[in-house]
Amino acid sequence: MPCEASAMALVFAGKAVATAAISFWINKAFTYLKEYKVEGIEDIKNRLLQSMPKIQVVLDIVNPRYVKEQSSALDAWLWQLRYAVEEAEDVIDVLEYYKLKEMAKDHKKLDITCCCKELEEKVGVNESPEWNNISHIARVHIGDSYFMDGKKCSEETLDRQQ
């Protein structure tokens, strides 16, 4: 009997996690859809949110150990639900990848003037040999000066190389 009780506790925990995960992915997906200004998403979101209590009821009632024996249609539906959640995760992963890629691209264009001014105040430009050696930085814009591969260059040269 104790083994069955612990198994039931795991089933209950799994159901709670499943519902939380589904809600998480729905909210995350709609955050991205809103960010990308997809039209007509409010209706879809409302329908999904209205369906969540129905999904919760099914997850509460179903004993996963006996689903196939109880109903092959229910088993098929649960697998479809699982695949839908996994697909949503995959789509969100792709969106996050492209968002990070864009952020990285924007980061390359970042003007680091403010950071450099703070360092100049703390260290002093001419007092620190490390400060003057910027050869480890491929391209940098400091104040009115431009550097590429550690050598001073014009803004046009820096822009051409980007």
Question: For residue 69, is it within any domain?
Answer: yes
The residue among 50, 56, 62 whose CA lies nearest residue 19 is 56
Number of separate domains in the chain: 2
**Residue 5 to residue 19: CA distance in whole angstroms:** 21
Those residues with Cβ within 8 angstroms of residue 139's Cβ, 6 or more apart along the chain or in another chain = 108, 147, 148, 149, 158, 161, 162
Question: For residue 19, is it within any domain?
Answer: yes
From the number of C-beta atoms within 10 Å of its C-beta (0-12, 13-18, 19+), residue 60 rates as: exposed
Same domain, 49 and 23: yes
Q: Output the pTM of the full model.
A: 0.46
Residue 106 DSSP SS3: helix
Same domain, 57 and 92: yes
How would residue 7 be classed by pLDDT, with cut points 50, 70 and 90?
A: very low
Range of the domain at 92: 2-103
pLDDT tens string 80-122: 888 887 887 777 777 778 777 777 776 655 544 445 555 455 5
